[in-house]
Amino acid sequence: MSNEAVPEKRQSKLSKDFTTIPGSLTITVLGVGSLTVDPNDYPGEYPTAENPTGVGIKGHLPAFAAGHKLGDSAAGRTGQDALDAITKVHEGMLLGDWNVRAPASPKVSLADVAAKFAGLSDDEKATAKALMAQLGINLPGM
């Protein structure tokens, strides 16, 4: 195995805290500052030309938040796997469990690829290198 650099995990730009001030959200931008909001401060019902039912910002927040929470559970998934992940999180939320998560899909790291590559025969390595070059993949140390 070569001494290739393992990519660093990208540091998050934002943190979100729902627990310090109950019912509020504090969003912190790394190295800049933070903003605490109380969703109850947003306007309630008011009809507009675009929104004749008058739901207002406050009325849209629960569906928007649920859409994000459920949609995030399907990230990186497709088809039935995505629907199963969304269903699992939805069912957990119905039981009051905000932290329920669908298990993450297995990840493949460069170290895994390099270790498997090292175990190939010379002919297999040549074939793998040719295929990776054809696909435009350049892995350090291979």
Who contacts 36 (Cβ-Cβ below 8 Å, separation ≥6)?
21, 24, 25, 26
pLDDT score recorded for residue 123: 92
pLDDT, residue 47, reads 58
Q: Which residues contact 138 (CB under 8 A, 6 or more apart)?
A: 132
Predicted pLDDT at 45: 62
Give residue limits of the domains in the chain.
Answer: 62-106, 108-142
pLDDT digit of tens for each residue in the chain (142 aa)? 455 555 666 666 778 887 777 778 787 888 878 888 777 776 666 556 666 666 666 666 777 788 888 888 888 888 888 888 888 888 888 888 888 877 666 777 778 888 888 888 999 988 988 888 888 888 776 7
Residue 117: its pLDDT value, please? 85
Question: Which pLDDT belongs to residue 49?
Answer: 67
